[in-house]
A and B are shown apart, each in its own frame.
Chain A
Amino acid sequence: MNTTPITDATFALILALLLVAPLAIAGVALVNTGLGRCRSAAQALLGNLAIVAVSAIVFALVGATFLGGAGHVLQLAGKPWNWAGTGPYLLGGLGTASPHAQLALLFEFLAVALAAQIPWGSGADRLRLAAGCAIAALLAALVFPLVAHSVWGGGWLSQLGVNFGLGAGFLDGGGAASVQVLGGVCALAVVWIAGPRKGKFPKEGLSTALPGHNAVYVLFGCLLALVGWLAWNVAGALLWLHAPLSALPVTAVNTLLSASGAIAATFAVTRFRFGKPDASLCANGWLAGLVASSACAGIVTPLQSLFTGVVAGILTPLLVELLELALSIDDPSGAITVHAVGGLWGLLAAGIFAPQPGQLVAQLVGISALLGLVLPLVYLFFWLLNRFVAFRVDGDGERIGMDLHELGGGAYPEFVIHRDESYR
Chain B
Amino acid sequence: MKYAGLLVMPAGFFLTLAALILFPDPAMRAAFVLCGLAVEALGLVVAVRGHMAARGESRL
Contact: B36 with A376, CB < 8 Å?
A: no
With a CB–CB cut-off of 8 A, which chain A residues contact B30? 360-361, 364
By the criterion CB–CB under 8 Å, are B9 and A371 in contact? yes
| Minimum C-beta distance from A63 to chain B (A) | 23
Q: Check: A268 CB closer than 8 A to any chain B CB.
A: no
Interface assignment of A79: CB less than 8 Å from any CB of chain B? yes
Per-position 1/0 for A76-109, Cβ under 8 A of B: 1101000000000000000000000000000000
The reply to whether B6 and A376 form a contact with Cβ atoms under 8 Å apart is: yes
Contacts of B1 in A (CB 8 A): none
Query: Is the CB–CB distance between A372 and B55 below 8 Å?
Result: no
Measured in the bound complex, the distance between the Cα atoms of B20 and A164 in whole Å is: 7
A368 to B29, CA, bound (A): 14
Among residues of B, the one whose C-beta sits closest to the C-beta of A76 is B21
Chain A neighbourhood of B39, CB < 8 A: 372
Known contacts A201-B59, A327-B51, A379-B6; A364 and B26 CB within 8 A of each other:
no
Q: Which residues of A contact B33 (CB under 8 A)?
A: 361, 364-365, 368
B contact residues around A68 at 8 Å (CB): none
| Number of chain A interface residues as a range | 20 to 34
Contact string, B7-20, partner A, CB cutoff 8 A, digits 1/0?
Answer: 10111111010001
B26 contacts A367, C-beta separation under 8 Å:
no
Residues of A with C-beta under 8 A to B36: 368, 372
Q: How far is the CB of A345 from chain B (nearest CB, A)?
A: 14
* Chain A residues in 8 Å Cβ range of B29: 164, 361
Cβ of B6 and Cβ of A371 under 8 Å apart?
no
- Assuming the contacts A192-B51, A361-B29, asked whether A371 and B37 have C-beta atoms less than 8 A apart, the reply is yes
Q: Which of chain B's residues has its CB closest to A78's CB? A: B21
- Given contacts A364-B34, A379-B6, are A329 and B51 in contact (CB under 8 A)? yes
Q: List the interface of chain B (C-beta within 8 A of A).
A: 2, 6-7, 9-14, 16, 20-21, 26, 29-30, 33-34, 36-37, 39-41, 43-44, 48, 51-52, 55-56, 59-60
Chain A positions near chain B (C-beta within 8 angstroms): 76-77, 79, 160, 164, 192, 196, 201-203, 327-329, 357-358, 360-361, 364-365, 367-369, 371-373, 375-376, 379-380
* Additional A-B contacts beyond A368-B40, A371-B13 (10; CB < 8 A): A201-B55, A327-B52, A328-B52, A368-B16, A369-B13, A371-B9, A372-B9, A372-B10, A372-B36, A373-B10
